[in-house]
Amino acid sequence: NAGVTQTPKFQVLKTGQSMTLQCAQDMNHEYMSWYRQDPGMGLRLIHYSVGAGITDQGEVPNGYNVSRSTTEDFPLRLLSAAPSQTSVYFCASRRQGASTDTQYFGPGTRLTVL
């Protein structure tokens, strides 16, 4: 199993540009989520999904859109990038049904918005 994969690893955008961060998992996990990591703030939840067709907002959803058309994929879209979205983005997945199950994290995408 590849686990949780994210592409790209690095990205530089100009203010106002749009892009999609890709996340895929091959563990048949129902639950997937996106976090952003900023220095001194830990990781904060952006959006999450409990299955195909079901998404919900986390702690910091503004400026981001998500959709979940398949179990495997959970892309994160920035419609109009802003410098405040400069961050490292992590995707995670776990089995649904038990909060005790381990969440598996991808390697991250480092995004810079100029």
Which of 31, 34, 64, 74 touches another protein (CB under 8 A)?
Answer: 31
CA distance linking residue 43 with residue 35, whole number of Å:
6
Give the C-alpha separation, 12 to 59, whole Å: 24
Under rule CB under 8 A, residue 12 binds another protein: no
Part in contact with another protein (CB under 8 A); list of ranges 13-21, 61-69, 78-86, 93-101: 93-101
Six-digit token pair at 112?
């810079």
| Residue among 1 and 99 whose Cβ is closer to another protein | 99
Counting Cβ atoms within 10 Å, is residue 34 exposed (0-12), middle (13-18) or buried (19+)?
buried
| Footprint of another protein on 37-66 (CB under 8 A) | 40-45, 48, 50, 58
Q: In the chain, how long is the greatest CA-to-CA distance?
A: 41
Provide the binding-site residues for another protein, judged by CB under 8 A: 4, 31, 33, 35, 40-45, 48, 50, 58, 90, 92, 94, 96-103, 105-108
